[in-house]
Amino acid sequence: MGRLIILIGASGSGKTAVAALLGTRPSWAGHTHYFDSIGVPSAEEMESYGGGEAWQRWATEEWVRRIATLDSPIELLEGQTRPSFLQPELAKHPGLDPTIILLDCTPAVRRHRLVELRRQSDLANPTMENWAVYLRAQADAFGLLVIDTSDLTVEEVAAAVESAAGL
């Protein structure tokens, strides 16, 4: 086990774009994981976990357990999850050296990215903004690094993540 960098944030914050860019670099190649690749069940299927929040907790715990079994110097996980789900699971794996980074942006930038760039206008809604506010409050409460991606290029955000990872 080694370093684990976890990028969290609401939709449109830049997590996937940054993770994809980092994944092309030698230090991250083969060590970049996407939270949703575990398989996101339908709303009906999530009920078997106890609902969406319970599924997110399960998926968070599953990802940390999986990554903890890997023998590599660095791993990157990107996805939408809560620091309050990450912290207790990370504590169970003292061999991991985790850094959780919240990527955030202004509501206007998020809306532009979701509607204009990604053509996912259904995600540009008050629920997503509330989620972004919630994640920012959790990041502040846990003393996590927050990178505001509003006025930064993907390359600049990736450089900030690499700096936080000590690369």
Model confidence over 144-166: pLDDT tens digits? 999 999 999 999 999 999 999 88
Q: Phi and psi of 98, rounded to 5°?
A: -85, 145
Question: Rounded to an integer, what distance in angstroms lies between the CA atom of residue 68 and that of residue 84?
Answer: 18
Q: How many residues does the chain have?
A: 167
Question: Rounded to an integer, what distance in angstroms lies between the CA atom of residue 43 and that of residue 8?
Answer: 22
- Please, what are the domains in the chain? 3-164 (3.40.50.300)
Q: Which of 43, 29, 22 is nearest to 103 (CA)?
A: 22
Of 39 and 60, the structure prediction assigns the larger pLDDT to 60
At 9, which amino acid appears?
G
pLDDT on residue 104: 97
Model confidence over 16-25: pLDDT tens digits? 999 999 999 9
pLDDT on residue 1: 58
Percent of the chain with pLDDT over 70: 99
* Strand partners of residue 103: 147
Model confidence over 45-97: pLDDT tens digits? 888 888 889 999 999 999 999 999 998 889 999 999 999 999 999 999 998 99
pLDDT on residue 30: 78
